[in-house]
Structure 1
């Protein structure tokens, strides 16, 4: 998972003053620049376009996304990671301006990871890191600024004796490039790891125990949820039915993310390829869903995806 840190001012600039008024014909989505959410938003876009809707996705910081939903400028967000994003969502729980309508993924996780050779050398938990500070260069490798809160909190509180460490912030790809270099040399590196993600296939990695207070139990176990602006599913019940049925699996997302990261496909290309590899998923996603014009949804999307 990765995120762009975008200030509220920049977010307003990105959104612009003239976003279209909410309507069912155009579905306005956002994702924070994380590959998994780029993929799932891409899947939603393909389904919606196959049904005759217009779909638009903007890359925005999480807080900006929530502000835009509260203001009625965005309709749909497929990427609320719970509990990893609970801090970001907490200010918006009051007032019911944002609705959580569906759990679209279970089995996700998010915490510190190391190459297996480091794990086998004795670094199996957060408490083992400080004793090997020199080998690690006293550095954590994270993703975009604004997405490494747990790392920063560990340093600020000197948890596990790691107060003297620093966080190297870059991007998902920048972090993975550093891991790739380290692994090629069998250097020691500790970084943010998560599933679903192709890193779990590309690298032989292990997740560290003991970070429950920062990432949650069971290696930062998480579920991912679909959220909308308040009242959206009542205004647009056909879309509401679709997104209530739209769910994914960790292996499926890891596969589709590989199309983006390794093969250079854009999210909708990757989504279309994923749908063609798993056409049976359409049956559940589109059960009882119609096209914008009122026709049967499943055959329309199958035709759009080239499955007919």
Structure 2
């Protein structure tokens, strides 16, 4: 068969697609152990699996996530909270190790918080921390190592008038929230890292501290969340990248899904599929111009595989 210059024959096109499909079949996502990422990652996993891909999640600390994106060991991360991570991990963006592909959430926040009774008693700002150091046992409760850098830097620099006696307690989201719950049960004083979306905003009477602009940005740590991928991924795997470009959530959706996991005790997969079935219209936008692994229309395939009407 003779093929005109510049025109790919069907066999060549199929071989090129097959090569790309094989290289992109495994989609490796980072999981930080955060409930919001458990929901969004698992939602992505369900959709990717229905499209014929083989997604997987690996539990990593935040700093290891960025290192793994740089080394090519992880493909996708849905938890790039801005502006905090853009400051802390600026070199990775500057050298092109990570590529933003979408803002997947707006209206988020991320800063220090206290139970309402502590706020009402006078701890309303970062600048009030030192005044109540003894009542707080000189401790600030954070989450997993790698995610508390603004707090560690704040304590090291003795910002906001802090003396040298403060400790940032690093553990995990679940362990931190358990500590907060124990404190609330006895009206003990505690200051911790809080954020939205998260069921803590619904299940707990809490307040965010003012004055943390230098550490977390203005508007009580007002934030957006981006999806980032490793260098070269958009060119190598354009179909998967298109899905992640489309995969945009909202505060109400994430709060509802996370509440199913944390309050109702559902597994992340069960919560994700329940949210998808309750909001089938989201798939129309998420799967626009997205195909299955073997090149068929993605929306119909996903709805059929997941039994979504």
Which category of TM-score, normalised to the shorter sequence, fits these structures? 0.7 to 0.9
- 1:243 corresponds to 2:244: yes
**Over 6 Å off, 4+ runs:** none
Distance 1:205 1:158 in 2: 25
For 1:113-262, list aligned pairs within 5 A.
113-163=113-163, 164-262=165-263
Q: How many residues align?
A: 288
Distance 2:128 2:48 in 1: 48
Q: Secondary structure at the match of 1:136?
A: coil
Report the Cα offset of residue 125 of structure 1: 1.0
Structure 1 residues 147-156 or 107-116, which shifts more? Answer: 147-156
Give me the CA root mean square deviation.
1.8
Task: Tell me the alpha carbon deviations over residues 214-271 of structure 1, each in whole angstroms, 9 at most, x when there is no partner.
Answer: 1111111111111112222222222122111111111211222222223333332221
Report the Cα offset of residue 22 of structure 1: 7.7
Report the Cα offset of residue 76 of structure 1: 1.3
TM-score normalised by the chain length of structure 1 = 0.88
Q: Secondary structure at the match of 1:264?
A: coil
- Which structure 2 residue ranges, 5 or more long, are not aligned? 1-20
Which residue of structure 1 lines up, in the alignment, with residue 264 of structure 2? 263
Task: Tell me the alpha carbon deviations over residues 29-50 of structure 1, each in whole angstroms, 9 at most, x when there is no partner.
Answer: 1122222112111111111011
For 1:32-51, list aligned pairs within 5 A.
32-51=32-51
Describe the shift of the 1:107–1:84 C-alpha distance in structure 2 as closer, same or farther (beyond 3 A): same
Describe the shift of the 1:291–1:248 C-alpha distance in structure 2 as closer, same or farther (beyond 3 A): same
Distance 2:134 2:94 in 1: 46
Describe the shift of the 1:61–1:144 C-alpha distance in structure 2 as closer, same or farther (beyond 3 A): closer
Report the Cα offset of residue 208 of structure 1: 0.6
- Which structure 1 residue ranges, 5 or more long, are not aligned? 1-20
Describe the shift of the 1:148–1:41 C-alpha distance in structure 2 as closer, same or farther (beyond 3 A): same
Which residue of structure 2 lines up, in the alignment, with residue 282 of structure 1? 283
Which residue of structure 1 lines up, in the alignment, with residue 85 of structure 2? 85
Task: Tell me the alpha carbon deviations over residues 48-88 of structure 1, each in whole angstroms, 9 at most, x when there is no partner.
Answer: 01111111111112232223222322221111111121244
TM-score normalised by the chain length of structure 2 = 0.87
Distance 2:148 2:247 in 1: 29
